[in-house]
A and B are shown apart, each in its own frame.
Chain A
Amino acid sequence: MEREMMQDHSPDTTPFIRLRGVVKHYQGAAGAVVALRGIDLDVQRGEFLVVLGKSGSGKTTLVNLLTGLDRVTAGEVWVAATPVHRLSAGAAARWRGQTIGVVFQAFELLPTLTLLQNVMLPMDFARHGAPARQRERALALLAELELADHAHKPPSAISGGQQQRVAIARALANDPPLVVADEPTGSLDSATAATVVQIFTRLVAQGKTVVLVTHDHDVARQATRVITLSDGELTGG
């Protein structure tokens, strides 16, 4: 049944990402909080979409719904012809592992593993290829991001900018078509932030679709499209 839902009947006209009437409420201590108030959004393959918004605008909620890390209160989220809003948490995790690389503001590398092991984590989880080939691919990804010399170090031994590059390498571990980044430059100085944004630009040139949420207007300059999220609603774009 799930397989049938996942079939893409019109691949030429369907956008890669389609959100329709997406609403998200949270139960807060002070009552219900409305994080998103009915979002409609289409993203085509190969776009570098930046979603600009202030703190509290609903950016992270949007990322969590897009990646299946959270579920909609109402509406539909389609990514790569999959109805993400209908997936169980377990199904969402398997689907995400193959479809989306997620990059976080705080890097979220495991401090007890080497950088190489951190990059290999999603491969293990998606059971992606034989161990020797996984290792080879992880080393190649680290080399691509100029971190080959650091492969066996723990995250604490490298800078924040380097840690974010490792996190991007990890996001690319299973070669997903989509990379979603939540404030990826929020913990970095502006020079380092620029180099990280360049990596996303390069990924788009290689055919990936990138959705990046940020409050930083400098980052938005590199995008192929910019939309603004304000009080849970899209304005402009």
Chain B
Amino acid sequence: MRTIIHKRQGTPLQAGPDGQGPLVGLQRVVKTYQTAAGPFTALKGVDLSVNAGEFVAIVGKSGSGKSTLINMITGIDRPTAGAVIVNGTPLQTLTEEQIAVWRGQAIGVIFQFFQLLPTLTAVENILLAMDYGHRFPPSDRPARALHLLEQVGLADCAHRLPAQLSGGQQQCVAIARALANDPPLLTADEPTGNLDSKTAATILTLFEALVAQGKTILMVTHDDELARRAGRCVVIADGAIVQDQHHGA
């Protein structure tokens, strides 16, 4: 078990999924991009701790840094400075290839545009994630994939291609895929941004059920109404956390 220093408390802190430390820890995370107009700092030294079982909404305007923040946590992008520890793993110690393997087991990632492979059926999209996660034996995977589709209410659509499903259904398949390797953490970047409000509400209900089952969810959104349904709301403006509110769900 690796230990880290928590900035605010100044005391060593177990970083891990063992209940003694946060599931997600960001310490003074800075991210600067080189743009044609010069360097742009998207995150200006962000500290954030999320405990297992929390449902956190990350809210901010377009360009505030909220997607950058989530990309730091999933390892899709790397900080310029600072540390990111997720599920006990300090991401800066991993190579890109190791991060991809680690992510497959530790995080289910959900995107605004679903990102299902158009050439594979719903159940095949989920099986693919299992191929990469190596978490369940191959013989168990088809039954698990169908069970996950059932959980999101899409058992009947298992053998349809993404193009034959509605946007809301595609996002439900993407959520089932995110659960493929039973990760402790789900991240969702504007998961309802491409859906009508009724379908968005269904997705939120699904998230609430997953949190009740013990999952931790970080959801980026610009929709205040959806954010209110999370137990905690972190507001980002101009690359910094300006508000961190627990709703006491």
Contacts and interface: CB of A to CB of B under 8 A. Distances in A.
B35 interface: no
Contacts of A116: 97
A199 interface: no
Interface stretch (B46-54, B116-124, B145-153): B116-124
B118 A69 contact: yes
Contacts, number: 68
B160 interface: yes
Contact of A154 (B100, B119, B161, B163): B100
A13 interface: no
Contacts of A153: 96
A110 interface: yes
Contacts of A106: 113
A124 B71 CA distance: 27
A196 B171 CA distance: 31
Contact of A110 (B95, B117, B160, B164): B117
Contacts of A227: none
Chain B, interface size category, equals 20 to 34
Contacts of A64: 163
A124 B124 CA distance: 12
Interface in B118-132: 118-121, 124, 128, 131-132
Interface string B100-111: 100110000101
Contacts of A97: 119
A117 B133 CA distance: 12
A186 interface: no
Given A70-B163, A152-B95, A154-B76, A117 B132 contact: yes
Nearest to B164: A70
A156 B121 contact: no
A114 interface: yes
Interface of B: 71, 74, 76-77, 95-97, 100, 103-104, 109, 111, 113, 115, 117-121, 124, 128, 131-132, 159-161, 163-164
